[in-house]
Amino acid sequence: MERNQANLLQGTLDLLILKAIGNGEFHGLGVARRVEQITRGTFTVRPGSLFPALHRMEENRRIHAEWITKDTGRRARVYELAAAGKKQLVDEESRWHTVTSAVNRVLRTV
């Protein structure tokens, strides 16, 4: 995560990760690439932020992680949403829409 993104991402990193994983299965760096892709490059999640967040979310049972062996013979840890992660995603999306609507109302005032 770049310095100018730190404040914005501080409470939204979990939301971005949960949304990026969605209903799919991604390895760690694939999650980072997906965040960058769906935000059109606005957010870059660095491994130093990504992997601690993934580990915390796994401990909190928001995501499942599993080691797989790829066709190339390399092992990769893949992540997918758990039921609690799907619920958290719905809850956080709702909160995000409430907050952004409020901020937009403030920005429209003179």
Q: Specify the CATH number for the domain of residue 68.
A: 1.10.10.10
How confident is the model over 86-110, as a mean pLDDT? 92
**How many domains, the chain?**
1
Q: What percent of the chain has pLDDT over 70?
A: 89
Confidence band of 97 (pLDDT split at 50, 70, 90):
very high
- Cβ-based burial of 12 (10 A; exposed 0-12, middle 13-18, buried ≥19): middle
Q: What are the backbone dihedrals phi and psi of residue 66, each rounded to the nearest 5 degrees, phi first?
A: -150, 140
DSSP 68-82: EE-TTS-EEEEEEE-
Average pLDDT, the chain: 89
Domain range for residue 14? 3-108
Per-residue model confidence as pLDDT tens digits over 3-21: 455 455 557 899 999 999 9
